[in-house]
Chains A and B, each alone.
Chain A
């Protein structure tokens, strides 16, 4: 972003204006498409999984928000739903799953254990998955009501809509696992 600003001429030409306008239209369109086709990878480890099931079933029906299809391979998923307690032994697995997902990707911490460790303030539990992977939306509750998760999906859709999207992204991808966390052995 800083580079783009530096390279911008002081007086923007009409061509730049037009390009910027087109870019914003494209970004809105791609964002609109992406926010209504969230393929999730449910990383279900604990009792929140029960609530996740009811969320997927007919009564709450996440399909209404375009987030219907769970993918059981991270390579096909956009949204990593971390549903349940993550302990220290599992943290490398979770990180590996996150790294396997293709860009663009988003993460939801489903329930209080994934968000902050919950009441498992002990030797075994990761105190919130944001210590290991970046998180976009947190859902409190033990377990959360399905309405809360729907609320979180809507928040995430708003975030996706507001993000800049490009049709073709030629910028180098962020290398995850360097700087924070370190590589896998």
Chain B
């Protein structure tokens, strides 16, 4: 459906867009180089009518370089077409913000920063989105410890004397 869009994109940005493929569910996907994601997004919104970014998220491929991948799921409301752009981002590299294209990308980019520690360049307000400010590290990174807890309050252990109510354990 949006094959023409991807083809146009590859034709327009031959250096930036590579490896187009048809993803699960029939969405057309392509990889985009990190530096040119903003241009590509501007082009998609202006020329192809992709006026909505319903979901932007990230993946941590621990052990690979570049380590992270940011996935832009885009939607054209008039044409009912979807496109998925994947951008590889290395550790410590900065990704241009697309908030100037879609205002709604703001919180998604903050989410990527909060959960994966991906720095977004020129973001208007790059703070944590979900976790509290005292939280150290980024919890969805694969190398975040499985039982890594950072409670805000000092926690005590559970109750010492529990009286069981009526139930199978107390009957009989």
Contacts and interface: CB of A to CB of B under 8 A. Distances in A.
Interface centre among B130, B132, B152 (most CB of A within 10 A): B152
A131 interface: yes
Given A131-B157, A131-B158, A181-B156, A91 B151 contact: yes
Interface string B133-172: 0000001000010001111111111110010011000000
A88 B151 contact: yes
Nearest to A116: B158
B132 A89 contact: yes
B165 to A, nearest CB: 5
A182 B165 contact: no
B156 A151 contact: no
B158 A91 contact: no
Interface stretch (A11-19, A29-37, A120-128): A120-128
Contact of A124 (B131, B153, B156, B158): B131
Nearest to A128: B158
A137 B154 CA distance: 22
Interface string A112-141: 000010000011101010111011011000
B159 A130 contact: yes
Given A88-B132, A123-B139, A152-B165, A132 B144 contact: no
A131 B149 contact: no
A124 B150 CA distance: 8
A164 to B, nearest CB: 17
Contacts of A126: 151, 155
Contacts of A89: 131-132, 152
Contact of A135 (B139, B153, B155, B159): B159
A107 B152 CA distance: 21
Contacts of B148: 123
Contacts of B132: 88-89
B149 A123 contact: yes
Contacts of B139: 122-124
Nearest to B145: A123
Contacts of B131: 89, 124
A126 B162 CA distance: 19
A152 B167 CA distance: 11
A102 interface: no
Interface in A88-111: 88-89, 91-92, 95
20 contacts: A88-B149, A88-B150, A89-B132, A89-B152, A91-B152, A122-B139, A123-B139, A123-B148, A123-B149, A124-B130, A124-B139, A128-B158, A130-B156, A131-B151, A131-B157, A134-B159, A135-B159, A155-B166, A180-B156, A181-B154
Nearest first, the 10 closest Cβ-Cβ pairs linking A and B are A131-B155, A123-B139, A180-B156, A89-B132, A155-B165, A130-B158, A91-B153, A182-B154, A181-B153, A88-B151
